[in-house]
Amino acid sequence: MKLPETPITDDHIHFNPHRGRGVEAAKDFKRAGGTHVFYVSLPAYSLGICPTTADDFAASFEETLRIADLVRTGAGITVFPVLGVHPIEVLKYADRLGLPAAESLACSGLDVAARLVAEGRAVGLKSGRPHFPVTGDVAAASERVLVHALELAADLGCALQVHAESGPCADIVDLAKKAGMDPGRVVKHYATPDTPLMPSFLAKQDGLAAMARAGRRFTMETDYMDENSRPGAVLGPKSVPRVTRHLLETGAITEDDAWRIHAETPAAVYGVEITL
């Protein structure tokens, strides 16, 4: 069975020719039936850049956008860049610069990302907080960085992808509202079904079909890391189209469900057009 005449979108994927397969991985996604991706920036150090200033983040984002262009032309898919600062970066830069400087640097990086969204070169921001135990001062600094990202996204009227601990993260709803942002445009990356935020579920998430049939709005992702040292981590680039095909072939979801997952919902959340 061929995939229906509907887009197939991966809401959180990475391509990294510095450490992985780059365009070749994107071609795998397309060959499996994929059409659109939200290409999320990697930590700057994954691109060989060790930031000490906002200009360094600018360089890492420019490299991310360059790779996005390579994927567009080389694989023939639609690429929506999402730029920001991974919460792990606060910890890494604190080891080198101290925590206050690392927090300030992360916020400066988000400011640069926001400028690129405002210029129309990216469609959303990413931020978050550590998904593993950290000291209280690190947790507080990370939370302030997340709040800054929410405020930027609210000012821009764009979506924010959030990396955070597993579970509902219900408190982020309140943080979003205080920042003036619609929580429905706060995308919980690697989501669990109990989140009140906009869930982006891994393609291996249990219960996808039941949630789709119930009309729940969500997107699908692989969080493919594109690192040769970890091939297929977290999921391979073919996973979203393959799982979607299987759900359709078995009648677990309808073509209307697939349209809602892969076109209608991400288009509304990110404010973009998703068509074939």
Tell me how far CA of residue 3 lies from CA of 76, 161, 257, in angstroms: 17, 27, 13
pLDDT of res. 232: 87
Q: Are strands 159-163 and 186-189 parallel, antiparallel or unpaired?
A: parallel
Helix, strand, coil percent content, the chain, rounded in steps of 5: 50, 15, 40
Q: Which residues of the chain have pLDDT under 70?
A: 1-4
pLDDT of res. 4: 54
pLDDT of res. 253: 97
Alpha-carbon gap, residue 58 to 87, rounded angstroms: 17
> Tens of pLDDT along 170-227?
999 999 999 999 999 999 999 999 999 999 999 999 999 999 999 999 999 999 999 9
Helices 136-156 + 87-97 axis angle, to 10: 130
Alpha-carbon gap, residue 135 to 39, rounded angstroms: 31
For 151, the token pair is: 């405020």
